Structure 1
Amino acid sequence: MPSKADLSSTTLPRRQLGRALRDARQARGLTLDQVAAATRISRATLSRIELGQYARVRDMEVDYLSRYYCLPEARIDYLKALASEASTKVWYQDYRHLILPRFNTYLELESFASEFWFYQPIVIPGLLQTADYARTLERLHRPDDSLDEINNRVDLRMQRTRILARQHLPVRAEFLLQENILYTLVGSSQIMGTQLRHIADLSTRDNVTIRVLPFTAGLPTGSVMPPHILLDFPDNEPSVVHTEAAIGTMTFDDAEDVKRFRALHETLQQASLEEQPSRDRIRKIARRYEQ
């Protein structure tokens, strides 16, 4: 059975820091017990630091361990910067009352990813949605919510879309969209026309690729593929796969699971239209909505 990662008790900077310190310890041929005996840090604390589960890692602890492992100054500065990031307030913390359990984990991964590989057969991915399209979905999904609650959730989604246009550490994102998404009416023809033109315009950005998996491709993988997002990270942080549905989400971090998803995703890529034909098709369908 695939593994379901529980990353809720840690963050990406903590995991990066923990893995780096573990690698440094092992490079010196030391065990946790040996380090604990020679330093002022208990074995339990060392273990939690290496697992990325210690929320209060201080600069002095990172500096102390790094020098004990004889790391160079540049590496020590980098690890201390990671420790600082681990305790920094994330941008979406102000929206935490709107975020479903476990989606908080995905947002943290999304914030630090360097590359995204999306496949969506049902609905326009959140990072590509216009506010009107997102608002329509929120009203359908939560008909009893107040207008303020809906608008706050839409604002959260619009905040997320900024990752595609950020100047610092720009992400690389590829979206594979099943063609039926383009014909699935959400809200009104005007909303859909504007939405599809927005997608086509985004696809002209250097860091964004949007490709359509046409009806004529059939089932390239031989089975029904769920919506999924492959996330790659800097500094050799292991890749993960995130999947979601109406009743819950799963995050896969087992290397074999990720490898399998990547192979299936590549099969979908091979069956998809190239960038310019995809853009042309999206704009053609947008014009139909606008007529």
Structure 2
Amino acid sequence: MPDAGSTLPRRQLGRYLTEWRTRAGLSQAKAAQLLEMGATSLNRLEKGQNSRIKSRDIQAICDLYGVHDDLTSALIGLARQSNVKSWWHQYGDVIPKDFDVYVGLEAAAVRLVSYQPDLVPGLLQTADYDRALVQLAWADSTDAEREQRVQIKAHRQNIVTRKTQPVSLEVVIGEAALRRVAGSRKVMAAQLRHLADMSTRPNVTIQVLPFEAGFPDGISMPPFVILEFGNAAYAQAVEPPVVYLEGAVGDIYLEKPNDVSRYHQSYEGIRQVAWDAAASRNLLRQVAREHEQRER
């Protein structure tokens, strides 16, 4: 019988538990012995295979590994969410608002496919572009707090530029994202040139969906990211792919194969009518020049 709950928070929880056990210098067998838990049970927990997870077990594990209180609360929240069939993560609800579930999934992915109609994707944003957005989104924060957010974004971008096994990144960006000004036209010019430069990397594909393409699906698709985690032996997925939808009050994670397939189909339809990589690169540089000219 298939497990009743969502596999996504279980897998995320398993990754964190494995990481912190390793930090504590414990083998899986030794940790299980100290926890008075079967080694098989701990192994299933770390692989995200337990369908029912007890909060007290997670608390005991975190105590043994020396996990700090804030992260312990987040991991207990993940354990509770694992029993929910359709997973919707609302900040400040079960999981602490400062725990970014998506970032952990992003770091584990080997391929990211994204459609962003209005904004430059986060992994491709310059610091000044991101800073302009953070200034508005976190207006009540201090300058130091806002700058910390910018630095966190910059750190996330390492998965694209690292020398060893960089993530494969495929994005379609709406033309509106090129022309809508964040910060200033000078900031936009630099941002678009950065996109053009990044698109020359072998692991990065950037296409622009022009206004003239209309609505490929007959509807206005929201921004989305499809995260894929690679294949093991016999072409089996290491983990099932996930569709991420960011919301103003909460984030939605779709795991059902039919849902993921639907977003793959939508992306393919959008990609086919978008400009190809070379034409998109030329457009990025052209619009960058337009911003510079209007800045003078």
Superposition TM-score, scaled by structure 2 size: 0.69
Unaligned runs of 5+ in 2: 19-36, 55-64, 75-94
Alignment equivalent of 2:201, drawn from 199, 205, 208? 205
Give runs of aligned pairs for residues 94-133 of structure 1, distance below 5 A.
101=97, 104-133=100-129
Letter in 2 for 1:168: T
Deviation at 1:103, TM superposition (A): 6.2
Q: 1:153 to 1:6 in 2, by over 3 A?
A: farther
Q: What is the aligned-residue RMSD (CA, Å)?
A: 3.1
Q: 1:176 to 1:100 in 2, by over 3 A?
A: farther
| Structure 2 residue matching 1:11: 3-state secondary structure | helix
Letter in 2 for 1:153: R
Deviation at 1:172, TM superposition (A): 0.9
Larger Cα-atom Rg: 1
Letter in 1 for 2:273: A
Q: 1:146 to 1:265 in 2, by over 3 A?
A: same
Letter in 1 for 2:113: W
Letter in 1 for 2:110: S
Alignment equivalent of 1:182, drawn from 170, 174, 178? 178
Question: Can you list the C-alpha shifts for 1:230-249, whole angstroms capped at 9, x where unaligned?
Answer: 11112312111111122221
Q: 1:114 to 1:49 in 2, by over 3 A?
A: closer
| Structure 2 residue matching 1:167: 3-state secondary structure | coil
CA distance in 1 between partners of 2:46 and 2:185 (Å) = 53
Letter in 1 for 2:132: T
Query: 1:33 is matched with which residue?
Result: none
Deviation at 1:101, TM superposition (A): 3.5
CA distance in 2 between partners of 1:166 and 1:12 (Å) = 25
Asked if 1:7 corresponds to 2:8, the answer is yes
Asked if 1:160 corresponds to 2:161, the answer is no
Query: 2:38 is matched with which residue?
Result: 41
CA distance in 2 between partners of 1:228 and 1:171 (Å) = 17
Question: Can you list the C-alpha shifts for 1:45-94, whole angstroms capped at 9, x where unaligned?
Answer: 67645644579xxxxxxxxxxxxxxxxxxxxxxxxxxxxxxx8x9xxx8x
Query: 1:270 is matched with which residue?
Result: 272
Deviation at 1:115, TM superposition (A): 0.7
| Structure 2 residue matching 1:267: 3-state secondary structure | helix
Query: 2:256 is matched with which residue?
Result: 254
Q: 1:9 to 1:281 in 2, by over 3 A?
A: same
Q: 1:49 to 1:277 in 2, by over 3 A?
A: closer
Asked if 1:281 corresponds to 2:278, the answer is no
CA distance in 2 between partners of 1:100 and 1:46 (Å) = 26
Q: Is the 8 A contact 2:173 2:208 kept in 1?
A: yes
Question: Can you list the C-alpha shifts for 1:125-161, whole angstroms capped at 9, x where unaligned?
Answer: 1101111111110111111110000000000001111
Question: Can you list the C-alpha shifts for 1:180-220, whole angstroms capped at 9, x where unaligned?
Answer: 11000111111111111111110011110100001011000
CA distance in 1 between partners of 2:49 and 2:101 (Å) = 14
Alignment equivalent of 1:144, drawn from 133, 136, 140? 140
Superposition TM-score, scaled by structure 1 size: 0.70
Q: 1:140 to 1:49 in 2, by over 3 A?
A: closer
CA distance in 1 between partners of 2:132 and 2:154 (Å) = 14
Q: Is the 8 A contact 1:196 1:282 kept in 2?
A: yes
Matched length? 227
Identity across matched positions, percent? 37
Letter in 2 for 1:148: A
Deviation at 1:41, TM superposition (A): 3.1
CA distance in 1 between partners of 2:11 and 2:241 (Å) = 16
